[in-house]
């Protein structure tokens, strides 16, 4: 990674942004009007990566005005769709060209190991290429109506307008791409609000978009605290759409804040995903699958398989094997070769996870492995497995968002399915079995937006992604991902 003069080797290059100018409004980089800022911290070392402008309601007003003006002037929509598709593909090409630097930045800001960062940044490339392919394929329908052939009836698909895109810190660059790409494909203008813990690398996406030819005002960025900048976006009367990925608690606040103008919401929220391992499962497949499903990105994944229900015939063997494998995982700075698990994002998150582990033990769980800090710097927690956890324990009921697996035995599959569904969440789930009948029986019975059979955490852009119950509203991905940013208009014309 090239580092400009005056920067330490641990700082993130945010060129052409400098001196905390991390707001992009109408094509210009600027600091917040108040000049307030905060630090972005490397969770592996505790080092300061750079300053982030703390945007507030005044900055949000400016960004929304920029996006509204760009939309009303049709700066984006007036371009022929092949030109817009070319720009989206150019964004993908430019991300790919800067892959090495973006990966290093992502590791420094989020803590994830390099191989995970490579996959997530690569997912951003794929998002823009996939949604570029939708240009020219977004259209309505025609048909006859009961009033007869004196009328011509058809529908139009139109962009909603100004979209606020609020992304989390656990996959910041990729998830920003997953929102910006379909929003632009649909024809919206946008304000991107990165998470305060991971704002800097996301700014490269906005810079790349400008360099690729996205007109000024079509994509704006407001960095800042969620409780201030995010809240202002949610309440703003000239924002038509909010797409949010994050916690269920924040999702509830967004619902309340958006009530003023009844803005459209897409909410991808929390999860407490169950994993059911039957006694006929191939354990050579299940053991690494279950472990990867919970420990990937230090357990900081909305779809993490955090509740394990294993048949009593194989329970002890499975938990022992998982514990042995977890205890051997290489923990450390994500930039170091061979590291399998990095730190959690912050001191706040570290304290929260340790508190959950302690509560699980106090409520009767057995600590099979982990449960404590790793090392003496950074926010590292050893991979943790809690065994024979009471089903009423907080670690079973609440989302932890850390490397903590709660394991419980079962004898009756119907009981396991009931417990899998005994949650306010419904984002994902999984089953491991060699029985095709049982696999599909469980897949149909578990209430979740995504379900895996004999594999963890796999998806594709054409497949809708979202949750049941308190895991969210709507779906991202595929046709539904584009449609989430569009309105449908019915038109009826008299011909004679």
- Give the pair of three-digit tokens for residue 275: 């994993």
487: β partners? 158
Q: Of the candidates 281, 226, 224, 231, which has an alpha carbon nearest to the alpha carbon of residue 254? A: 231
Q: Considering the candidates 196, 268, 399, 476, report the single residue annotated as catalytic.
A: 268
Burial string for 240-264 (b: 16+ CB within 10 Å, else e) reads bbbbbbbbbebbebbeebbeeeebb
| 358-397 b/e (C-beta count within 10 Å ≥ 16 → b) | eebbeeebebbbbbeebeeebbbbbbbbbbebeeebbbbe
- Please tell me the distance from the alpha carbon of residue 308 to that of residue 273, in angstroms, as a whole number: 9
Tell me whether residue 268 is one of the annotated catalytic residues.
yes
Whether 269 and 300 have beta carbons less than 8 Å apart is answered as no
**Which letter, b or e, does each residue of 138-170 get, where b requires 16 or more Cβ atoms within 10 Å of its Cβ?**
beeeeeeeeeeeeeeeeeebebbbbbbbbbbbb
DSSP 8-class letter at 145: -
Tokens 């991905």 found at:
477
Query: Which of 189, 192, 181 lies closest to 126, judged by CA?
Result: 181
Other Cβ atoms within 10 Å of 439 Cβ, number: 18
- Dihedral angle at the C-alpha atoms of 104, 87, 226, 14, nearest 10 degrees? 40
Choose the catalytic residue: 109, 196, 302, 476: 302
Known active-site residue 188:
no
Q: Side by side, which strands form the sheet with 472-473? A: 28-30, 23-25, 219-221, 189-193, 162-166, 241-245, 264-268, 472-473
Active-site residues, by number, are 268, 302
């Amino acid at each position: 990674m090239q580092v400009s003069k005056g920067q330490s080797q641990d700082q993130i290059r945010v060129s052409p942004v400098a001196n905390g100018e991390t707001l992009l409004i109408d094509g210009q980089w600027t600091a917040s009007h108040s000049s307030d800022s905060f630090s972005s911290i490397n969770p592996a070392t505790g080092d300061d990566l750079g300053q982030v402008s703390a945007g507030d309601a005044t900055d949000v007003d400016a960004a929304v005005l920029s996006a509204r003006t760009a939309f009303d002037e049709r700066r984006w929509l007036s371009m022929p769709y092949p030109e817009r598709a070319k720009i989206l593909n150019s964004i993908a090409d430019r991300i790919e060209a800067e892959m090495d630097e973006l990966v290093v930045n992502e590791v420094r800001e989020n803590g994830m190991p390099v191989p995970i960062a490579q996959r997530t940044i690569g997912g951003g490339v794929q998002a823009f290429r996939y949604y570029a392919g939708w240009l020219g394929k977004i259209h309505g329908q025609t048909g006859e109506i009961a009033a007869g052939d004196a009328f011509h009836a058809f529908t139009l698909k139109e962009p909603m307008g100004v979209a606020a895109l609020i992304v989390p810190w656990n996959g910041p660059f990729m998830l920003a791409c997953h929102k910006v790409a379909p929003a632009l494909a649909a024809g919206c203008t946008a304000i991107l609000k990165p998470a305060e813990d991971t704002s800097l690398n996301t700014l490269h996406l906005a810079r790349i978009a400008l360099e690729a030819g996205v007109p000024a005002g079509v994509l704006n960025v407001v960095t800042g605290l969620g409780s201030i900048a995010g809240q202002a976006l949610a309440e703003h009367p000239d924002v038509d759409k909010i797409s949010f990925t994050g916690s269920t608690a924040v999702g509830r606040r967004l619902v309340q804040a958006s009530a003023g103008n009844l803005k459209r919401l897409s909410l991808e929220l929390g999860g407490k995903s169950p994993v059911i391992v039957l006694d006929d499962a191939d354990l050579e497949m299940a053991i690494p699958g279950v472990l990867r499903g919970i420990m990937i990105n230090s357990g900081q994944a909305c779809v993490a398989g955090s509740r394990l229900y294993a048949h009593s015939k194989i329970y002890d063997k499975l938990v022992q094997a998982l514990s042995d494998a977890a205890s051997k995982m290489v923990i450390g700075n994500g930039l170091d070769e061979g590291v399998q698990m990095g730190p959690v994002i912050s001191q706040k998150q570290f304290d929260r996870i340790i508190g959950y582990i302690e509560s699980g033990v106090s409520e009767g769980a057995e600590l099979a492995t982990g449960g404590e800090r790793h090392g003496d710097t950074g926010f590292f927690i050893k991979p943790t497995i809690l065994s024979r956890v009471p089903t009423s324990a907080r670690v079973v009921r609440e989302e932890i968002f850390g490397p903590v697996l709660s394991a419980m035995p079962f004898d009756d599959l119907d009981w396991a399915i009931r417990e899998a569904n005994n949650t306010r969440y419904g984002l994902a789930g999984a089953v491991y079995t060699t029985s095709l009948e049982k696999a599909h029986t469980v897949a149909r019975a578990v209430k979740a937006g995504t379900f895996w059979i004999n594999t963890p955490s796999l998806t594709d852009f054409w497949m809708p992604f979202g949750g049941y119950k308190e895991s969210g509203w709507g779906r991202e991905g595929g046709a539904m991902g584009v449609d989430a940013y569009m309105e449908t208009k019915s038109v009826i014309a008299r011909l004679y």
